[in-house]
């Protein structure tokens, strides 16, 4: 499954000043990680945004946003944002800021115990 490379280039340009961003292939697309947490991703032409649980209901009401149902089951805290909602860099930056906020504020991942 391909992802929109033009959108990936736009995201990379907007994030270039931020330290600690890692790009990783995920969901058949690309994900942008900060502090070992996915904050933003791209599948086909849609942006994926991670958000804080308390912000999720309000963000779902925003134009161009909907539940991420990649597996056929809604994934809480993940949103799809359609291409029409990120036409300008200003629109895209607002969604990137939500993902960055998630990565910075959410608790650290629990380390798995060794076998």
Stated pTM of the model = 0.88
CA angle, corner 111, sides to 107 and 115, nearest 5? 165
Q: Report residue 21: phi and psi, to 5°.
A: -80, 130
Residue pointed to by tokens 């597996």: 71
Q: Which fold has domain 5-105?
A: 3.90.1150
Tens digit of each residue's pLDDT, the chain (115 residues): 588 999 999 999 999 999 999 999 887 889 999 999 999 999 888 999 999 999 999 999 999 999 998 677 778 899 999 999 999 999 999 999 999 999 999 887 776 666 5
The Cα 32–Cα 27 span in angstroms is 12
Per domain, the residue ranges of the chain are: 5-105
Q: Across-strand partners of 68? A: 75
Joined tokens for residue 111: 């380390």
């Amino acid at each position: 499954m391909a992802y929109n490379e033009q959108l990936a280039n736009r995201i990379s340009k907007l994030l270039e000043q931020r330290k600690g961003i890692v790009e990783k292939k995920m969901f058949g697309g690309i994900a942008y990680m900060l502090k070992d947490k996915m904050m933003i991703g791209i599948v086909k032409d849609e942006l994926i945004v991670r958000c804080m649980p308390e912000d999720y209901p309000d963000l779902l009401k925003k134009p161009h946003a909907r539940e991420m149902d990649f597996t056929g089951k809604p994934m809480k805290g993940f949103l799809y944002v359609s291409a029409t909602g990120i036409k300008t860099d200003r629109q895209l930056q607002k969604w990137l800021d939500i993902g960055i906020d998630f990565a910075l504020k959410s608790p650290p991942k629990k380390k798995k115990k060794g076998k």
